[in-house]
Amino acid sequence: MSLTTAARSATEPHEPIRTGLSKDTLVQAFGDNLFYVQGRFREVASPYDLFMAAAFTVRDRMLELWIKSARTYKEKNSRTVAYLSAEFLIGPQLGLNMVKLGITEAAREAGKELDLDLEAILETEEEPGLGNGGLGRLAACYMDSLATLQIPAIGYGIRYEFGIFDQQIIDGWQVEKGDTWLRNGNPWEIHRPKICFPVGFGGHTEQHTDPAGITHTRWIPELVVNGVAYDTPIPGYGVNNVNLLRLWKSEAPESFDFQAFNTGNYYGAVHAKIEAETISKVLYPNDDPEVGKELRLKQQFFFVSCSLRDMIRLELSNTGTLEHFHKKFAIQLNDTHPSLAVAELMRLLVDEHLMNWEQAWDITRHACHFTNHTLLPEALETWPIELFGRLLPRHLEIIYQINQLFLDEVRVKFFEDDDRVRRLSLIDENNGRRVRMAHLAAVGSCAINGVAELHSELLKSTVMRDFHDMYPDRFHNVTNGVTPRRFMVLCNPRLARLITKVCGDNRWIRDLECLSALEPHADDSALHERWRAVKTAAKTDLSNWLGQETGIAPDPSSLFDIQAKRIHEYKRQHLNLLHVLALYEQIKNQGTDGIVPRTFIFGGKAAPGYTMAKLIIKLINAVGEVINHDPAVNGTLRVIFMPDFNVKRGQRLYPAADLSEQISLAGKEASGTGNMKFSMNGALTIGTLDGANVEIREEVGAENFFLFGMTAAEVQRRQAEGYDPYQIYSTNAQVKSLLDLIASGLFSHGDAGLFQPLVENLMYQDPFMVLADFHDYVECQRKVADAYGDPRHWTRMSILNVARIGKFSSDRAIQEYAERIWQVEPEPVSL
Ligand code: 26Q
């Protein structure tokens, strides 16, 4: 049918074309947007044109709410959360925004009328990969929950032109490809050229005395770049509140070019422009040994400075004073990446707004809050003084002053304890003088939190121990959570429908504890049948997709055993692989009798510079190559590496999993959030007592969780005693035989050297104690197989996992932040 405006007169709807939610209005609006925004009509529209028209149609429906929300927050002068994060991994927006507006069904109907396949349109959306993994995805879940709980909030971050690289697998190896997510246009963002702040770098500082005799410091930067705002609306679920994600893009100030041009330095001007634009060009991967990059520090300062100036602008336009800044904004620092906010807020208040130091420090300390996401020592950020002082000379002075006042306080509290003073200092004097960003964040914040109970305890007893001695009341735990809107309703509509039916209504989508209504039905055989049908359908979908994508379509009746997360030695993908090889060896020696058919699916990216992680990917693919084609295996085992694991692909995995692999070495995974996503889709977990696994097991019940491995305390003890993996290799025949198998060249076309670094690492160092936990893991996997062989038992456990997973909603987490950390209140928006 024709979609130009000519069609409208026939079915003029009574609703406004840009806000109406009925099917008929959506049909009209889609046609208008295709024609007037994309400049296309149906016959010549590309799939991306269709996506853009659909996206604009949905965006139109959020704009009025967005503006109403902003007006309400301004009028009420509500305390606003400013969530500062170097990463926001928000995932594709179209489907989720439709869920939140409650128009999924109407849109599907409209699609039918237009003879359009909604699924195909959703699939066309390019996801903004503006994060590495857990930390960035958590920020996105929290933005969802803040809006849903009607809490005024702005997410501040960087609009990277290239997000996390796309992963290709070529000959079994990871190959990175640039992520050009903006090439076809991004319909969700609104460019705000007027919201623009200059950000300085380098140069020097000067002192001057004002007429009243007070000395001030002025920073004269050498280079100035502009930060320009790009806004993305974040609607709440089933409410009128729409919050804001404001990402900054770096640009050269116009004046810059002209200056250079006038002095005849045309190429110099072009160079300066390129340098300015480089700042927001690319997201850095974590776990990269080479991350001591100057550009990374520039990025951090860039987005922190723009964000704070934006908050100051808002506060001044509202109240005309900064005296109550900390009452207006609750700033949350997502790890140390934005911790320069402490020094920059001090600089803005003291140098630019002429506030005295004491008052500025009081405001800063009461505005800021800090979340730690890691205990791994190599991941704690520090910057060499030389680099820091060259790039941010004024901030280094401010940090010295903060440090001096802080260490005076330490000396008073802990009399004659020089060692403690050295340990607490913001400057590490042992490794060539470096600024410790976690210390800066901790000193400048009124609350410090870990992301799971175990993690928060370990934080207090290890990396932040001295801070805990100093300021015990600042420490909190807020266990992570994930949004059920994306990770249940959107990605698993069949399960969502079934749950709504059993619960009697869909209240669980905004109050996940309502899932407990499933519990009385855990033994209901009619429910069992439906539950299994839902799981089988999801497995079939995934199998078909994998067939197209990888050439292998696994049998949906096999046990889908999935590990999807960044590739890192501490997460122990190689432990999982050793179990695969143990089964393979069993088949080769004794045939397939007694083996429960399994499909092992791996997904995850390795940092481009992390050689061992890349070798693990190669080994997974190499093992798959052999096992998937060995007639002796005869399809009983399948090993599949899903390339380019991201939010979108995760949404295919979670609903289809029977078993979720959460097998990190105890004490290393701060929380994990994939563990929650799998569990809320009815997968059972095999896991260690690490991160949030501990609490998941507590909630779902020990009898519904496959536990194995050492505890964090046992790990500490064993390491203190001196752990010797070679001793295990030489005394455990199975371990020896499996490592020898990898080293034999069977998986590397006879090249025995290829996997040698991996094998030797396990034999002689094994920093993440894979061999120590191996036996227990394999035993536990045997129990998994037995349980899977008893469908009634398995289905009961699966239902109970979902019924008891309510705690892990990000709504609960945000509620805790709001009450215990931020002291913010909901601000409902009415139309
Ligand atoms: C730092 C400096 C230079 C370059 C990159 C980085 C960098 C970037 C990202 C360091 C770390 C990250 C991301 C860390 C992360 O994702 N941590 C995970 O956070 C989740 C949410 O709290 C937890 O569930 C995971 O346990 C934790 O690993």
What are 330-345's pLDDT values in tens digits?
999 999 999 999 999 9
Ligand 1: residue of 85, 286, 332, 375 to mutate (most ligand atoms within 8 A of CB) is: 286
Tell me which residue has its CA closest to atom 6 in ligand 1: 286
Spatial distance between the Cα atoms of 490 and 476, rounded to a whole number of angstroms: 32
Q: Are 452 and 568 in the same domain?
A: no
- Residue 487 has a pLDDT of 98
Please name the residue ranges forming H helices in 77-180: 94-101, 104-113, 118-124, 134-148
- Is residue 37 predicted with pLDDT exceeding 50? yes
Tell me which residue has its CA closest to atom 19 in ligand 1: 135
User: Closest ligand 1 atom, CA of 692?
Assistant: 24
Q: CA 525, 531, 532, 535: dihedral to nearest 10 degrees?
A: -170
Provide the number of structural domains found in the chain: 2
CA distances from 605 to 215, 598, 645, 761 (A): 52, 23, 7, 21
Burial of 193 (0-12, 13-18, 19+ CB in 10 A): exposed
Q: What is the mean pLDDT of residues 546-562?
A: 98
State which H helix or E strand residue 406 sits in. helix 393-413
Between the CA of 723 and the centroid of ligand 1 the distance, in Å, is 27
Spatial distance between the Cα atoms of 122 and 97, rounded to a whole number of angstroms: 11
HEC states along 493-559? HHHHHHHHHHHCCCHHHCCHHHHHHHHHHCCCHHHHHHHHHHHHHHHHHHHHHHHHHHCCCCCCCCE
- Residue 675 has a pLDDT of 98
In a domain, 581, yes or no: yes
Tell me which residue has its CA closest to atom 21 in ligand 1: 135
Q: What is the mean pLDDT of residues 415-438?
A: 96
State which H helix or E strand residue 410 sits in. helix 393-413
Catalytic residue among 100, 337, 474, 571: 571
Q: Are 178 and 245 in the same domain?
A: yes
- Is residue 11 predicted with pLDDT exceeding 60? no
Ligand 1 interacting residues, C-beta cut-off 6 A:
132-135, 138, 284, 286, 291, 296, 373-374, 379, 381, 451, 480, 669-673, 691
Ligand 1: residue of 135, 451, 479 to mutate (most ligand atoms within 8 A of CB) is: 135
Tell me which residue has its CA closest to atom 9 in ligand 1: 286
Task: Look at the block and give the residue holding tokens 């090249």.
Answer: 751
- Give the pLDDT band of residue 740 (cuts 50, 70, 90): very high
Strands 434-436 and 447-450 turn out to be unpaired
- Residue 4 has a pLDDT of 35
Catalytic (active site) residue 614: no
pLDDT tens digits, one per residue of 50-85: 999 999 999 999 999 999 999 999 999 999 999 999
Please count the other Cβ atoms lying within 10 Å of the Cβ belonging to residue 792.
11
Between the CA of 612 and the centroid of ligand 1 the distance, in Å, is 19
CA distances from 288 to 114, 172, 291, 610, 790 (A): 48, 21, 6, 6, 44
Tell me which residue has its CA closest to atom 4 in ligand 1: 286
CB 671 within 8 A of CB 571: no
CA distances from 395 to 51, 163, 202, 385, 399 (A): 45, 28, 11, 11, 6
In a domain, 112, yes or no: no
Spatial distance between the Cα atoms of 37 and 190, rounded to a whole number of angstroms: 14
Helix (H, G, I), strand (E, B) or coil at 623: helix
Tell me which residue has its CA closest to atom 25 in ligand 1: 672
Q: Are 546 and 455 in the same domain?
A: no
CB 254 within 8 A of CB 228: no
Q: Residue 611 maps to which CATH number?
A: 3.40.50.2000
- Give the pLDDT band of residue 258 (cuts 50, 70, 90): low
Catalytic residue among 42, 436, 510, 565: 565
In a domain, 135, yes or no: yes
Q: What is the mean pLDDT of residues 84-101?
A: 98
Q: Are 208 and 311 in the same domain?
A: yes
Between the CA of 132 and the centroid of ligand 1 the distance, in Å, is 7
Torsion over CA: 25, 26, 27, 31 (sign):
positive
Lowest mean pLDDT among 289-298, 406-415, 545-554: 289-298
How many residues make up the chain in this entry? Answer: 831
User: Closest ligand 1 atom, CA of 480?
Assistant: 22
Spatial CA neighbour of 83 closest among 198, 243, 318, 249? 243
In a domain, 141, yes or no: yes
Please count the other Cβ atoms lying within 10 Å of the Cβ belonging to residue 726.
13
Strands (E), 413-522: 427-428, 434-436, 447-450, 475-477
- Is residue 219 predicted with pLDDT exceeding 90? yes
Spatial CA neighbour of 403 closest among 361, 367, 372? 361
Helix (H, G, I), strand (E, B) or coil at 90: coil
CB 802 within 8 A of CB 499: yes
Between the CA of 713 and the centroid of ligand 1 the distance, in Å, is 23
User: Could you give the percent of the chain with pLDDT greater than 70?
Assistant: 97
- Is residue 2 predicted with pLDDT exceeding 50? no
Between the CA of 672 and the centroid of ligand 1 the distance, in Å, is 11
User: Nearest 5 degrees, angle CA 645-CA 748-CA 616?
Assistant: 35
- Residue 638 has a pLDDT of 98
Catalytic residue among 249, 298, 373, 468: 373
Spatial distance between the Cα atoms of 821 and 370, rounded to a whole number of angstroms: 10
Between the CA of 279 and the centroid of ligand 1 the distance, in Å, is 20
State which H helix or E strand residue 367 sits in. helix 357-367
Between the CA of 139 and the centroid of ligand 1 the distance, in Å, is 11
- Residue 268 has a pLDDT of 76
- Residue 547 has a pLDDT of 98
- Is residue 252 predicted with pLDDT exceeding 80? yes
Long-range contacts, stretch 173-179, CB < 8 angstroms, 24+ apart = 173/614, 173/617, 173/618, 173/621, 174/605, 174/606, 174/614, 174/617, 174/618, 176/608, 179/129
Q: Are 544 and 475 in the same domain?
A: no
Q: Are 578 and 470 in the same domain?
A: no
Q: Are 425 and 552 in the same domain?
A: no
Between the CA of 137 and the centroid of ligand 1 the distance, in Å, is 10
Q: What share of the chain is helix, strand, coil (3-state, %, to 5)?
A: 55, 15, 30
Task: Look at the block and give the residue holding tokens 């730690």.
Answer: 372
- Residue 291 has a pLDDT of 63
Spatial distance between the Cα atoms of 619 and 621, rounded to a whole number of angstroms: 5
Lowest mean pLDDT among 70-84, 114-128, 278-292, 569-583: 278-292
- Is residue 290 predicted with pLDDT exceeding 80? no
In a domain, 586, yes or no: yes
Catalytic (active site) residue 68: no
pLDDT tens digits, one per residue of 466-504: 999 999 999 999 999 999 999 999 999 999 999 999 999
Spatial distance between the Cα atoms of 779 and 793, rounded to a whole number of angstroms: 19
Beta bridge partners of 80: 329
Q: CA 606, 612, 617, 622: dihedral to nearest 10 degrees?
A: 170
Catalytic (active site) residue 673: yes
Tell me which residue has its CA closest to atom 12 in ligand 1: 286
Catalytic (active site) residue 571: yes
- Residue 625 has a pLDDT of 98
- Is residue 260 predicted with pLDDT exceeding 90? no
Catalytic (active site) residue 373: yes
- Residue 256 has a pLDDT of 58
CB 625 within 8 A of CB 172: yes
Task: Look at the block and give the residue holding tokens 């509202």.
Answer: 318
398: left (phi over 0), alpha (psi -120 to 50) or beta: alpha
Between the CA of 135 and the centroid of ligand 1 the distance, in Å, is 5
Tell me which residue has its CA closest to atom 5 in ligand 1: 286
Ligand 1: residue of 373, 646, 668 to mutate (most ligand atoms within 8 A of CB) is: 373
- Is residue 5 predicted with pLDDT exceeding 50? no
Q: Are 575 and 443 in the same domain?
A: no
Number of helical H runs and strand E runs in the chain: 33, 22
State which H helix or E strand residue 274 sits in. helix 266-278
Strands 223-235 and 190-201 turn out to be antiparallel
Spatial distance between the Cα atoms of 457 and 694, rounded to a whole number of angstroms: 13
Helix (H, G, I), strand (E, B) or coil at 761: helix
- Give the pLDDT band of residue 292 (cuts 50, 70, 90): low
Task: Look at the block and give the residue holding tokens 């020592």.
Answer: 377
Catalytic residue among 104, 673, 688, 795: 673
Which residue range(s) make up the domain with 216? 77-92+127-480+816-822
Spatial distance between the Cα atoms of 400 and 435, rounded to a whole number of angstroms: 10
- Residue 7 has a pLDDT of 39
Amino acid at 361: W
Spatial distance between the Cα atoms of 403 and 409, rounded to a whole number of angstroms: 10
Amino acid at 742: I
Tell me which residue has its CA closest to atom 13 in ligand 1: 135
Please count the other Cβ atoms lying within 10 Å of the Cβ belonging to residue 788.
19
- The overall average pLDDT reported for the chain is 95
Q: What is the mean pLDDT of residues 787-812?
A: 98
In a domain, 508, yes or no: no
Q: Are 435 and 542 in the same domain?
A: no
Tell me which residue has its CA closest to atom 15 in ligand 1: 135
- Residue 295 has a pLDDT of 95
Spatial distance between the Cα atoms of 283 and 293, rounded to a whole number of angstroms: 12
- Is residue 580 predicted with pLDDT exceeding 80? yes
- Residue 261 has a pLDDT of 59
Between the CA of 286 and the centroid of ligand 1 the distance, in Å, is 7
In a domain, 529, yes or no: no
CA distances from 245 to 22, 306, 731 (A): 28, 14, 56
Ligand 1: residue of 374, 381, 663, 810 to mutate (most ligand atoms within 8 A of CB) is: 374
Q: Are 211 and 284 in the same domain?
A: yes
Spatial distance between the Cα atoms of 818 and 210, rounded to a whole number of angstroms: 42
User: Closest ligand 1 atom, CA of 455?
Assistant: 26
- Is residue 577 predicted with pLDDT exceeding 50? yes
Between the CA of 276 and the centroid of ligand 1 the distance, in Å, is 26
Burial of 593 (0-12, 13-18, 19+ CB in 10 A): exposed
Spatial distance between the Cα atoms of 270 and 260, rounded to a whole number of angstroms: 9
Lowest mean pLDDT among 150-154, 378-382, 572-576: 378-382
Q: Are 587 and 461 in the same domain?
A: no
Q: Which residues of 278-312 are buried (b: 16+ CB within 10 A; e: fewer)?
A: ebbebbbbbbeeeeeeeeebbbbbbbbbbbbbbbb
Residue 442 in tokens: 């901790």
Spatial distance between the Cα atoms of 334 and 659, rounded to a whole number of angstroms: 30
In a domain, 494, yes or no: no
Q: Are 256 and 404 in the same domain?
A: yes
